[in-house]
Amino acid sequence: MSITREKKTFIKAVSGGLSTLMDSSCTSEEIYLSPDNYIERFIHDNVLDGSSFSPDLFCRMIDDTKDETLIELLHYFDSIDMNLQRSYFESCIPHGEFSDFAELIEGCEIETFEDFITFDTSGCTTTGSHQSIQI
């Protein structure tokens, strides 16, 4: 399964919220001190800056890693209660940006990264400097 460019752009947009969740729960620090499995080792090596989650490193990782690995990472976030919906609300994305995805999340049609990955966005378009998903 592949993740579309539009979805990757949205995942990057919620990286600040994911950072807030990871750092405020001390999950980043726990992974920094003692990664328990290969996905935590991946986070340790590719997403943490010291003991803090780095949105910049996370965004670069999205561009540089295989979709299969990214999907495993997003499933991990779902499994530790740091899903897309929580990340979205913590990220404080300005109103109007990614409005179609935002509407689906705010309406609880998409809650997890798994929901998002598998959601059919055929016919998506990008307009202007911000993305607009036509669903």
Q: Is the pLDDT of residue 135 over 60?
A: no
Residue 130 one-letter amino acid? H
Percentage with pLDDT > 90 across the chain = 79
Which amino acid appears at position 63 of this protein? D
Instruction: Count CA atoms within 13 Å of residue 3 on its CB side.
Output: 25
The answer to whether the CB of 80 falls within 8 A of the CB of 63 is no
Q: What is the mean pLDDT of the chain?
A: 89
9-65 pLDDT, tens digit per residue, is 999 999 999 999 999 999 999 999 999 999 999 999 999 999 999 999 999 999 999
pLDDT, residue 94, reads 84
pLDDT of residue 123: 47
Structural domain harbouring 114 = 5-132
- State residue 71's pLDDT score: 97
pLDDT of residue 96: 80
Burial of 23 (0-12, 13-18, 19+ CB in 10 A): middle
Tracing tokens 């991990």 back to the chain, one arrives at 76
Q: Please tell me the pTM assigned to this model.
A: 0.85
Q: Which of 104, 127, 134, 124 has the alpha carbon at shortest distance from 116?
A: 104
The number of folded domains in the chain is 1
CB atoms within 10 A of CB 36: 9
